[in-house]
Chain A
């Protein structure tokens, strides 16, 4: 099933974000083998060269690596994945805080409603 893409952003950047997300969430476990470029292209519904471009970039960052003949793997380095997780969450939080500030929230108010909402959502789980 192809994923939904933002039409105004380069697709390879969205693929990079998507794969990072999968690695951080554990959907793609550390050290596991990645599907082939072709299979990923079909899964995401995009051009194979676009997938290639995204994978090359992730490889440059060290999140993926290639075994000469066996294919591509996720790094087994859980420390690196942990760092990526922190970096991604920092991005989300910064954006969230920025938006809440724009709505006029103070830090204490924000913490209070965040705590309330958190337990609300947890209660439904």
Chain B
């Protein structure tokens, strides 16, 4: 059985459907790009897998369980918006995570903090957007989870930092884990995916291995993405 099973999933916000009859299976050891234009339901899907949204039809199973108490321990979720308080310093956030999650590896977090040249004692409110994003990613990646759900983890960072973050993801990624990275910035990122799931509006546009997509179309997933959605917008 796949680590993540999604069957006939339907979700609407006040009668406006966002996801319609979506079915997917994702095995362990995969880094998956969840791609799609704004508003196609990427964040919604991650929130449902993280157990933060539960009013939907259909089935989501994580390691055989519905999202809830049992899966919270398995899932490390990076939300799109920060939930950390501005007064906190990285060392406080480490205390928080150590309290909440038995699988939090503080030494790993401290090591990454040093690599990104962040100060353990600097309050979050004085950090740039990019620094905050790095800190959040460090927290999420320092858990020994089975499923990592990252919602736009690199929206506010420069290309060099984006590269460093991708390397960090590759270095800290566990081989038996699933990582799903939702983003609309595909370029530069697609090299770390082995599979891309392209969500359109209420449809699964494409679900294939990155190299198969490149082979089939003779172009990058980024370009395929642009073409697919250019068409859907002009229609």
Contacts and interface: CB of A to CB of B under 8 A. Distances in A.
Interface of A: 2, 5, 7-13, 38, 41-42, 45-50, 53
B167 A11 contact: no
Contact of B211 (A2, A11, A45): A11
Interface string B186-199: 01001111100000
Nearest to B179: A47
A32 to B, nearest CB: 23
Interface string B1-45: 000000000000000000000000000011100000000000000
B200 to A, nearest CB: 22
Interface residues of B, number: 26
A49 B29 contact: yes
Contacts of B193: 47
Interface of B: 29-31, 163, 166-167, 170-171, 173, 175, 187, 190-194, 210-212, 214-215, 218-220, 222-223
Contacts of A45: 163, 166-167, 170, 191-192
A41 B212 CA distance: 19
Contact of B175 (A9, A46, A48): A48
Interface of B is mostly: helix
A11 B30 contact: no
A48 B212 CA distance: 16
B31 A47 contact: yes
Nearest to A54: B211
Contacts of A5: 191
A42 B173 CA distance: 10
Contact of A53 (B29, B31, B211): B211
Contacts of A42: 167, 170-171
Contact of A2 (B31, B191, B220): B191
Contact of A38 (B167, B175, B219, B222): B175
Contacts of B215: 10
A2 B167 contact: yes
A46 B219 CA distance: 17
B31 to A, nearest CB: 6
B214 A10 contact: yes
A53 B209 CA distance: 12
